[in-house]
Structure 1
Amino acid sequence: MRTMLCSGVAFAALMIPAAAFAQSTGTVEAEEGSEIVVTGNGGPVTISGVQIPDAPKARAVITQELIERRAPGQTILDTLNQVPGVSFTNSDAYGSSGGNIRIRGFDGNRIALTFDGIPLNDSGNYAIYSNQQLDPELIDQVNVNFGSTDVDSPTAAAAGGTINYRSLVPSDKLSATGVYSRGTNDMNRAFVLLQTGELTSFGTKAWVSASSQKYDQFRGPGTIYKQQYNGKIYQPLNDRGDFISVAAHYNQNRSYFYSNPSLANLRTVLSAATVPAAGSGASPVTIDLDRAQYDQVFDDRSSAFRYDYTCSLPSASATAGNNAVQDDRAACGNVYTTAYNPSNTGNVRLNSRYTISDKLLVSFDGAYSWTRANGGGSTIFAEQDAAAFNAAGTSNASGVNSYQYSRLGAGVATGVDLNGDGDLRDFVRAYFPSNTRTQRFTAIAGVRYQIDDNNLVRLAYTWDRARHRQTGEASLLRGDGRPLSPFSALDGEGPGAILDAQGNVLNKRNRLSYAILHQISGEYRGSFFEDSFKVAAGLRVPFFRRNLTNYCYTIGGQSNDAYCTSQTSAQVTALDTRLTSVTLGAPYANRIKTYDAILPNVGFTYDFTSAISMFGSYSKGLSVPRTDNLYGFDDVTISPVQAVEPEKTDSFDLGLRYTDRLIQAQVAGWYIKYKNRIISTTTLLEGNQTLSVDRNVGAVKSHGVDANIGIRPSRHFSLYGFGSYTIARLQEDARDPLTTAVILPTAGKFVVETPKWQYGGRAQFDFQPVSIGVQAKHTGDRWVTDVNDLKSAGYTLVDLDARIDLAFAGLDRTFLQLNVSNLLKERYFGNLTTAGNAFPLVANGSTGTPRFTFGAPRTFIGTIHFEF
């Protein structure tokens, strides 16, 4: 074992914290380097739970010190709002309803999220689901890489950077923790954790945990329910730091979507003076409501943008032989019970390290993960197929499913009696979610060779294979509009399955995707001039393969739905000639799409003094087209004139750091250029579903400045502040991939949902047994449309946390905590449903139907935390 004597916080931060800054075990060990004995310093400085690591790239770290002060059960992504350049908008105050994250203008689909080294982004659309993350009590720390990724990251979407968090290592001592929280909107949460301590003479240790949370939505009907179970067993192998760790995670969400107003809804409730009917990029409309206006919209109880609590389906009350039309088209289309978002997710994770010799170290991480989820939604079917067409041969405009055509009759009948009343005259509402099941295997193998005390190299191989099964089974609803099963008639099983005339379950899609990654990578790290200059250079070479099978007919340009039918190909061909606005492509198997790239990265740190250093980095990033959206074409009947190409970025950072025991500060300037920028035209569908079509819009240039500072003048007080300035502009117009015609004048426009200004901070006071923390963040104006004709005004949120330690009463490691989110009752819009353009506004909505999500009002949470 090698031991070196060093001084200087900068060197310690780079070399020793075991799991501090990295995601995979191999990256941890590359950054750890050697075992270091540090003289005169205790490792990286943490102020208010934030660290500024001395890494050769732009990075930020948040530790459990801050995580535990946030609202119990809150998603870890919300805590990242204290990091400059990061913008997270939460759907509610508790974190179990989802939200949206952006880093330097990149949305969540372009940000890689990993958990103990394994990928968490959806393998189909690369989305991040913030409500499915690990309980915050179990997160040791989380780090953010801006505009770059570690060389062994198993990701298809990291143009915007990476977020990595790691779970706790089991404790050496036996202990138990119990947490109970009670909050606004009838929120109840319970969390328990058992640490076994060392179970054997050779150091085996483990922990298990469980949590449950339930609360009502803050606006409109609906209950959010979440339960989670976790466990981890850790086996040290020797006194060199080698280990094997096996962990498991299971999360179950049963939640409903919030109903939120469109631009047209705002205009209807308020006035044309507040929301005009026209706007332009030169004179954009800003949605900036005062308190009275906001409350007027928030309190509006009409069904225009608030889900109904109850409903009654005429089709469900039909009696046999009445020969009357039972019509559900005006019933239960806005009921909360089908705006449903159930999910079951889980994984099993392996992390390990093995020392082969004093110079050679091997690491291996592996995981198996799975998902079952959908986003709810309902639709109307005409029992007789002829009622699904109008005279022009297109889909019926009177509320019937747009792609029904002749599916129910299946080529052997004119339709199907869905409600059992003996006729084919009815219009029946059905539960019609988009089900997704994923099984995913991940493996990362790494070898690190220590050339000498100042130089090391490593090689890694990464493999990731996701089996992505997507269906959309239709099933009957109860008379009050409730689904019979949260996952409908998945795999043809479950109650109420809707069958066509040939006895097959009706589907909106039926496809199988394999998203496969093979990746090789290498990295060199060196330290020179008595450790004052450190450099890291790496190369990541990913090979992506998409194996696509569509068991249904492709609907041209439509990636969400397909034409799934029991009809023969001749019957579909005859149908295709009748359609005037839709092209159908035949089913196919094993359609292959491949992408690869060579992605270098290099970075350095230079220490001017023991406290002052400079860092700089360059990295090339990649985000490949989303697997789901490849189903909008078949490359035979339906082929784009311009195929969607992968996004590639060139990211540069240059900054200064100051770190001592009193102050830590960092300021960094950055520039990112990326070509083949992909934008999606998004349309909101019934049941809170959306339709997205990808298009390349050429180059985008973005730049900005991020800064933060932490000060701890005494052990009783700490102060942290941050700010970021971001400019991100599209350089070219958006074109139709089928015709190359300009469809949106996006050249020169600012990227949507990206605030130009963000700033805030936190102050914490510790006078035992009482401690109080106050934090605030201002999020600036954000564009809602790609053509910049509509923006949402900025807002400022203030949160409070206060704690009283009960050790004075003989209750060691027990405390009471109060959290208040949105302390000053800010009225604001958080998540935004963006669109290509908003104007001209028409009577039934707008051209792109942008929507505004109400921000959560002031929320109180009281917690008692026991530890024995």
Structure 2
Amino acid sequence: MKMFEKKLLSVSIVSILMSVTAHAESNAVNVGTVSVKGQSLGGGLMVQEDTPKARSVVTAEAMNSDPSAGNALDKIANVPGLQMTSNDSTGISGLNYTMRGMGADQIGLSADGIPLNDSGNYAVYPNLLGDSENVSQVFVTQGSSEADGPHIGSSGGNIGLVTKRPDRDAGVFVEQKFGSNNLRKSFARLETGKMGNFSAWLSASHTEADKWKGLGNLEGNKVEANAFYKADNGNTSSLIIKYNKQNNYQYGTITKANYDAALSDGTTGHKADFSSDPTKSQYYQYARNPFENLNISFTQDLILSDRLKATIQPYYYWGNGGGAIGSTTLSNSSNKSNVYDLSNLTGSLPYYRPSMTTTWRPGITTKVKWDVTDEHSISAGYWYERARQLQTQPYIYANNGVPADVWAASNQVVDAKGNIVQGRNQFTTTPAQRVWLQDTWYVSPKVTLAGGLAWESVQRKGENRGSLSTATYQKQAKYNELLPNFSAKYQLNEQNQFFYNISKNMRAPQNYVLYNADDSLSLKPEISLNNELGWRYQTEKMLVSATVFNLHYKNRQVSTQNISGDNIMINGGTVDARGLELEWSGKLPYNLNYYTSYSYTDSEQKDNLMVKGAALPTSGKQSPNTSKNALTAGIGYDDSRWTWNFKGNYTGPFYGDMTNDEKIAGRTVFDFSAGVHLPVDKKFIKEATLSFGVNNLFDKEYLASTQSVKQNSKTLGQAKGSSPQYIIGEERTFVISLSAKM
């Protein structure tokens, strides 16, 4: 049934698109009506902004003009301050990014008010992002989280996704993409149009592709919906549902030494992947990543009076899945904790042992805004969430290197007493809450002041249920912090705007502290203080934004090992990041437009790091995985029928370790895309577009990002060196996209 539904979706979309193409060909003389959308600044990569803080917005126009199958974060990779890379261009594989020297697990990510970072370790996964075709905009606040942001792990900035509202007119939008490595993406969205006060849309998509290096494939299925109701009195209700199910093979990473060796013999791409030999522990069939998740949010906006508005937003997230990168042996000697009776095991066999995680995450946000006078407004709110997370590592039987169940729901190894044998068995409960009060004062038509105070409280409750390495126990910790913020905006004239922003952010320790050794539980929250001073120049034909920033944060949380080799969390000291972010876009004669962004980031570690009794020389060194210089420049054309865009991105050198002993060279990568709005007579087809895109146009070979940052790549005293693992930049790929709106 599942395969039939996927084939039906693909066949239906292809059939419709073939009819669009045939219709266009039959009108070769009478070209009919060409949809005119008009030209925006930078093709939607930049908008006029009024927020008194560093902020970038990418619109649906820019994302939809990019024909790639990438997700919403892939399509904002050019905004200043953000350095992003993905395993491939399918949009459903892994991704990695930093912003102002901070990693993705230090940056808040939300969609329509729902937190998307993992509730335990704050990691970000592409399966949570939904289809980019359903996103109306993505905003990035480079240094400050939103005052009402539902984040417990955001000491850096914030990225927010906004789902598109239903259209006023009924119709169907379909899209089919074909590309390199057998890429196929079928997407369809049905719009009900406005029916009285109600409107809604429902979409479904299926994406599949081969990995661009190594054996295995990628597959993702999504179903999403948005129902919107606007009452006669102005009150609105919105229900958003997003479901995803994927079954991917994982990509392997590579050390710099192995990459350099592979580069010399011409096998760079495939050299860094898993074995095709089922007798090897790194056999590709063991490198799996199945996952399933469901997001539901309901937003009720109430107009209580002319000056008083309220919002109530309950939400729920559920996710289940995980993955592995190799096989693991199991024998009676593996039972170091004496939790299990492994006398029933014979020999030492290889098993598939994935790290599985099930998360239940209900929450609610309530807020009110009171316009006291025309010049003065106050907003207040409360956010509460109670996340529960079960993390296990069952052993799954394998036949000739093929796991019997990649979802780990059956064929599990049990001990002599019938207990499922677990390499990890942890249950974490994380109640979190935030209360905030924000005051905005429009002092004059030119001056606006805003100040606020938030109180955030996070509790970690850990229950280790017993595994091969640890007996049962329980731990808990609580973290509270007051988080003030202040901003000022000065509107010099219609074109020039200046702003200043200072804010304090908190990142509660990851749930690792509940289960790691030594005094990990005593780790303090990571605290950052963000200062920004900016200028914006905004006209109908040109936008310019410039921001200088100083980001100071302390109690940096670092995962390492003690002398015995046990995993611990330690306080890594203080980091100071300072720099400059520029963004510039506009229109040129002859239907041309341009966009450029530049970032200078100097992120310096201020303390030496104590690892296994040795003081590593990290003081004065740059934060790893962050380039000091990053530049994007692009030029485009749009005459309302034909479009094209050519851009280049330079990312400077970066370090893979905290001691700065291993440096990765910078690179410049070019992309090109073009499209045509096909002629239609609008009796059946309202719009039709054919697009073509090439990523990494000149097939540049490079190491894109550090997948696993190390403290030291060279042995220093008792601290043995460990080689960082890197993501290889994807080879040149192309995609063809055909879409129609009916």
TM-score (norm 2): 0.90
Aligned pair 1:356/2:304, yes or no? yes
- Structure 1 residue 528, shift from structure 2 partner: 2.1
For the aligned residue pairs, the C-alpha RMSD in angstroms reads 2.5
Aligned pair 1:614/2:463, yes or no? no
Q: Distance in 2 between matches of 1:353 and 1:715?
A: 44
Q: Is the 8 A contact 2:516 2:566 kept in 1?
A: no
| 1:56-110 Cα deviation digits (max 9, x unpaired) | 1111111011111223431111122111110001101222111101111110110
Residue 718 of structure 1 aligns to which amino acid in structure 2? N
Aligned pair 1:600/2:600, yes or no? no
Q: Distance in 2 between matches of 1:380 and 1:105?
A: 35
Question: Secondary structure of the residue that 1:50 maps to in structure 2?
Answer: coil
Question: Which of the numbers 587, 591, 611 marks the counterpart of 2:472?
Answer: 587
Partner of residue 35, structure 1: none
- Structure 1 residue 299, shift from structure 2 partner: 5.4
Question: Secondary structure of the residue that 2:266 maps to in structure 1?
Answer: helix
Residue 747 of structure 1 aligns to which amino acid in structure 2? S
Question: Which structure 2 residues correspond to residues 96-495 of structure 1 after superposition, within 5 A?
Answer: 96-199=92-195, 201=196, 203-240=197-234, 242-266=235-259, 269=261, 293=264, 295-298=266-269, 300=271, 305-311=272-278, 331-383=279-331, 385=332, 388=333, 403-405=334-336, 410=341, 415-417=343-345, 424=346, 426-479=347-400, 481-488=401-408, 490=409, 494=410
Residue 591 of structure 2 aligns to which amino acid in structure 1? H
- Structure 1 residue 49, shift from structure 2 partner: 3.0
* Residues matched between the structures, number: 699
Question: Secondary structure of the residue that 1:337 maps to in structure 2?
Answer: helix
Partner of residue 555, structure 2: 676
Q: Distance in 2 between matches of 1:45 and 1:95?
A: 26
Residue 379 of structure 2 aligns to which amino acid in structure 1? R
Change (3 A) 1:307 1:534: same
Q: Distance in 2 between matches of 1:628 and 1:75?
A: 29
Q: Distance in 2 between matches of 1:618 and 1:836?
A: 31
| 1:689-721 Cα deviation digits (max 9, x unpaired) | x99743212111110000111121347111111
Q: Distance in 2 between matches of 1:459 and 1:139?
A: 27
Query: % of aligned pairs identical?
Result: 25
- Structure 1 residue 46, shift from structure 2 partner: 6.7
Q: Distance in 1 between matches of 2:634 and 2:231?
A: 41
Q: Distance in 2 between matches of 1:229 and 1:266?
A: 39
- Structure 1 residue 748, shift from structure 2 partner: 1.1
Q: Is the 8 A contact 1:408 1:416 kept in 2?
A: no
| 1:725-765 Cα deviation digits (max 9, x unpaired) | 000111111124xx8x3342211111000010001122110
Q: Is the 8 A contact 1:458 1:523 kept in 2?
A: yes
Q: Distance in 1 between matches of 2:123 and 2:730?
A: 23
Change (3 A) 1:451 1:190: same
Question: Which of the numbers 649, 656, 659 marks the counterpart of 1:784?
Answer: 656
Residue 423 of structure 2 aligns to which amino acid in structure 1? K
- Structure 1 residue 47, shift from structure 2 partner: 5.1
Q: Distance in 2 between matches of 1:382 and 1:165?
A: 44
Q: Is the 8 A contact 1:649 1:672 kept in 2?
A: yes
Q: Distance in 2 between matches of 1:650 and 1:699?
A: 11
Q: Is the 8 A contact 1:467 1:514 kept in 2?
A: yes
Question: Which structure 2 residues correspond to residues 358-757 of structure 1 after superposition, within 5 A?
Answer: 358-383=306-331, 385=332, 388=333, 403-405=334-336, 410=341, 415-417=343-345, 424=346, 426-479=347-400, 481-488=401-408, 490=409, 494=410, 496-529=411-444, 531-552=445-466, 562-563=467-468, 586-589=471-474, 591-633=475-517, 638-639=518-519, 643-681=522-560, 693-714=568-589, 716-736=591-611, 741-757=613-629
Partner of residue 85, structure 1: 81
Structure 1 residue runs without a partner (length 5+): 1-41, 271-291, 312-330, 389-402, 418-423, 553-561, 565-583, 684-689
- Structure 1 residue 132, shift from structure 2 partner: 3.1
Residue 311 of structure 2 aligns to which amino acid in structure 1? S
Q: Distance in 2 between matches of 1:121 and 1:535?
A: 31
Q: Distance in 2 between matches of 1:798 and 1:59?
A: 25
Q: Distance in 1 between matches of 2:315 and 2:61?
A: 28
Q: Distance in 1 between matches of 2:675 and 2:605?
A: 46
Q: Is the 8 A contact 1:465 1:514 kept in 2?
A: yes
Q: Distance in 1 between matches of 2:722 and 2:308?
A: 57
Q: Distance in 2 between matches of 1:614 and 1:73?
A: 37
Structure 2 residue runs without a partner (length 5+): 1-37
Change (3 A) 1:715 1:139: farther
Change (3 A) 1:131 1:650: same
Partner of residue 857, structure 1: 731
Question: Which structure 2 residues correspond to residues 787-802 of structure 1 after superposition, within 5 A?
Answer: 787-802=659-674
Question: Secondary structure of the residue that 1:66 maps to in structure 2?
Answer: helix
Change (3 A) 1:512 1:299: closer
Residue 140 of structure 2 aligns to which amino acid in structure 1? V
Change (3 A) 1:629 1:460: same
- Structure 1 residue 198, shift from structure 2 partner: 1.7
| 1:813-850 Cα deviation digits (max 9, x unpaired) | 10100011111211111131221111259xxxx82131
Radius of gyration: which is bigger? 1
